[in-house]
Amino acid sequence: MNFPGVQELPMDIMSLILCWLPAKTLMAWRCVSKQWRSLIDSPHFIQLHLQCSNATSSNLSLIFNTKIHAFGGRSSYETIFKHAEQNLDCLYSLDFDKLLDHDDALALPVDKYNPMKCFPEYAGLTYVVGSCNGLILLVERPNCTFFILWNPTTGKYQKIPWSVPVYDEFTHAPVTDIFGFGYDHINQDYKVVCRVKKSDRRDQLNVYSLKNDSWHRAALDSFPYGVNCELTVLFNNAFHSIGGSDNDILVAFDLGTEQCRELPHPEPNNPLKTLSVLGGCLSVTILHYKGYEDCCLYSAHVWVMKIYGIEDSWTKVCKVSHLPVSRSVYVKPLAYSRCRDKILLYFDDGDGLVWYDVKMKRTQNVKVSGAPRFYVTTFVVGSLVPLNNSVTDLSKRGNKEQVEE
């Protein structure tokens, strides 16, 4: 591959040009020359490329995996595996730019490079916990015996040693949940946080440090909020979730200090339903019912906190009305359109992704071909972020061959 004239450009100029390209393109262009490979693999360029992608919300993909609770939750894994024709262990990827430009889109399977299948203890279902800086945290279900960090762009992955799981003595169900995965900007470290549920609701948090490759107990004495770990979002160097017996507490766990704090939310008398990050702000969704919950319509109110931690900065950005309860009680805003006149919403009932027109106050379903009927989805930014221990280059060597770097 030859680019006349380009080779003579100073490397600092080349960096400023290449940093705007998609990560997949850069992976292919590493073979142009040793000089380009050295540049693209350098920590400075990797960080520059990530900063450009985050600043412009570009190089984004949506990763889809099967929604377990659509089949009845933890107790019905046998039912799940009876639906093998749906490729329930498959992950799917969708270029977000294509979704912005069209009313329908095709989700392509990435199961060919699913690193979970490299391990004999894999039971057949992959669950995406979350993503950060292009790295995805995957956990094996239903046994939850191991999980891995994976960069789908580079094909590299790293198995994370599991904190000793704890099981209920009567039901034998795991009482250890993954609270979240994210990057600690203070300590410059990727961290995984697990919650160990206690009978007195004074839960314990354990933290895995990728830098140290080890687990430790979080500095706080207890975590007495009874949060739903599946609702956790990463924002402002902290995991945020919904807790309290009435789902009326917005709680944050700081990755740097490993302490928790409560945040004000816009409607203290109403329970919070979902959390997300919308347009660079922390967002909550609150449902309002008209009549009895089992036979009525409801509306979803989406709020954003424009100034983090300031109660008066909560602003309602949309109200999606006249939704039947039978449709869904889980509504999550994901992103704005380019002109910010529409909001991409996720419904957990099978409709999946929906565009909401803020001015016209109406919804339009997004047809995502190829994805499971019931799915959950996670944003992933394409990046070149490396992993530091035992990894496998799936893009070159196939699923079964492992190497040490």
326: left (phi over 0), alpha (psi -120 to 50) or beta: alpha
Bridge partners (DSSP) of residue 129 are: none
> Domains along the chain?
6-50 (no CATH), 57-397 (2.120.10.80)
Per-residue pLDDT of the chain (405 residues; tens, 9 = 90+): 555 555 567 888 888 999 999 999 999 999 888 888 999 999 999 999 999 998 888 889 988 887 765 444 444 455 555 544 455 667 888 888 888 876 666 666 665 567 887 877 777 678 888 999 999 999 877 666 778 899 999 989 998 877 665 655 555 555 677 889 999 999 999 999 988 877 666 788 889 999 988 888 888 877 777 777 778 899 999 999 998 878 888 999 999 999 999 999 898 888 888 899 999 999 999 988 776 555 566 788 999 999 999 999 999 999 888 776 655 567 899 999 888 889 999 887 667 888 999 888 888 888 887 777 777 888 999 999 998 754 444 433 333 333 233
Report whether 179 contacts 205 (CB < 8 A): yes
The pTM (predicted TM-score) of the whole model is: 0.84
Rounded Cα gap, residues 194 and 254, in angstroms: 14
Degrees (nearest 5) of the Cα angle 95, 97, 102?
100
In order, the DSSP letters of 52-73 are HHHHHT-SEEEEEEE-GGGGTS
Query: How far is residue 145 CA from its own chain's centroid?
Result: 20
> Considering only CA atoms, which of 264, 269, 241 is closest in space to residue 311?
264
All residues at 6 or more sequence positions from 274 whose CB lies less than 8 Å from its CB, including other chains: 231, 242, 284, 285, 330, 331, 332
Degrees (nearest 5) of the Cα angle 322, 326, 328?
75
In 3-state terms, the chain is what percent helix, strand and coil (to 5)? Answer: 20, 40, 40
The tokens 């999606």 sit on which residue?
Answer: 320
Report whether 93 contacts 330 (CB < 8 A): no
Q: Identify the DSSP state of 298.
A: E
Radius of gyration of the chain (CA): 22
